[in-house]
Amino acid sequence: MAAPSDSAPPAPPSPSSPTSPSSPTSSDAGGVRPAPGGEGLVRSLTHRQTTMIGLGSALGTGLFLGSGSAISVAGPAVIVSYAIGAVLVAIIAVLLGEMSAAHPVQGSFGTIAHRYLGPWAGFLSRYLYWFSAVVVIGTEVVASALYIRWWWPEVPMSLAILAIAAVVLAVNIISVKSFGTTEFWLSTIKVVALCAFILCAALLVFFGLPDSEATGFANLGDDGFLPHGASSIWLAMSVVMFAYAGFEVVAIASAEAIDPQRTIRTAMRQLAWRLSFFYLLSITLVLALIPWRTLAGGDGSVETSPFVRVFSEVGVPAAATLTNAVVLIAAMSAANAHLYGASRLLHSLGGDGLAPAPMARLSRRGVPAVALAASTLGIAAAALLAFYDVSGLFGILMSIALFAVLLVWLLILASYIAFRRHRTAHPEEFTGFSVPAGGKLAIVAVLGVLAVAATAVEVPDMRQAAGIGLAFTAVLFVCYGLTTRRRARRT
């Protein structure tokens, strides 16, 4: 990491400074100052686009491919793991929504953490999320390559990764408006397709086909609902929570939303119940149709999506092909959204003098092109690992990304606790919605996140990820310490 510049980061805006959507490039538009070399981020994302960006980033590989790993850990009991994860993420989402509606600023939760916890928290949370998003981008691109190889196994993994990367980068670099439009339609396709999958799967479960009987829910209990014991529900959380990560992009997008307060207020709530509905219902139907050991594979490896295998196993190859196309779109959509989020946080760090100055520059179309290019490191790393045929590539990347985002969630929750105390003490400074018993819910969520992180004690991939994540965090603390020391000497 290059040494940050010596200019101190600007203080985040006060809660009483409202965003002015009509002045997207002014310094008081959501507290965003014009970035060096550009005119500032452009508020061109509509409410519907921003909502679908959040849904697009969360409905990706974690559900369509990673669910196979979760099923191998807990069997049918993984349904309980997804239910617990849904509750935990719903809490974090609505709390982040309350904060972001009050502060729809460039840098999102990183800028908010700077204000309520201190500059170190803003520095740490943004770099950790960038790191996690970069890894997720690599994960989604790896998944996309696996889906392509389901059709054409002879295609080299690294070549498939590079082809997907070119498409994702092209969508992001054109303009914010084109990104929003593309992501809206990609997300719409996969949401409609997932609804169709749920309908078809439900028909197979309850009514069957002319040449096959309905499966019912016997597969959920034939081998025991808890084949690996009650502790497997907890251990599966190390995979399950990765599936929910990505909703934070809605908060990041608030700096480029036309109506950030309305967008944040409704988008986070919609994301919470939509994700719960899609994940719980689809996973339950998948497990009802196919015995869990078939879905998991003998060694728990992940090569194809359980959603694709459902139709392959029940003898509907055309539907399996269509489903594979849908999950490919889903992975590309998620990579697209995460690349957007990573580039915007790196851009905000550059604007605050906490990343190399070129990161703050914008293209003529308002795109942080340099930050965007730097955020493709995950794709390059994934391609390199794939070239050397690193065993368990998907599981390794998924665990590293999850551990980093768990640390970000803890910082978000800590920021919320401090924010809530300030809001209670100074209610006249705030307007907008407030989450009932938000402070208590934040404590519950902190305990839940810590419980997920504790799976590193038992899960090898998570243990490896914890080592990498903690090492990266330590490096960030050293970088922050050196930066502040150098500034102190010059003042």
What is the number of alpha carbons within 13 Å of residue 118 lying toward its C-beta? 3
Range among 9-13, 27-31, 88-92 rated most confident: 88-92
pLDDT, tens digit, for every residue of 31-40? 333 333 334 6
pLDDT, tens digit, for every residue of 165-184? 888 888 888 877 777 888 88
Residue 277 pLDDT: 82
pTM of the model: 0.80
47-51, 310-314, 381-385, 465-469: least confidently modelled range: 310-314
**Which ranges of 59-175 does DSSP label H, i.e. alpha helix?**
61-64, 67-74, 78-102, 108-116, 119-151, 157-174
Q: What is the mean pLDDT of residues 319-347?
A: 83
Nearest Cα residue to 31 out of 104, 100, 119: 104
Residue 272 has pLDDT above 90, yes or no: no
Nearest Cα residue to 60 out of 439, 268, 456, 328: 328
Residue 84 pLDDT: 93
The whole-angstrom separation of Cα 216 and Cα 288 is: 7
Q: CA 148 → CA 57, 193, 195, 315, 332, distances in Å?
A: 20, 18, 23, 21, 12
**By the 8 A CB rule, do 252 and 108 touch?**
yes
Task: Give the residue, 58 or 414, on which the prediction is more confident.
Answer: 414
pLDDT, tens digit, for every residue of 104-144? 888 889 999 999 999 899 999 999 999 888 888 887 888 78
Residue 254 pLDDT: 74
Q: What is the mean pLDDT of residues 375-385?
A: 79
What's CA 271's distance to the chain center, in Å? 12
**By the 8 A CB rule, do 129 and 415 touch?**
no
pLDDT above 70 coverage of the chain, percent: 82
28-37, 208-217, 331-340, 466-475: least confidently modelled range: 28-37
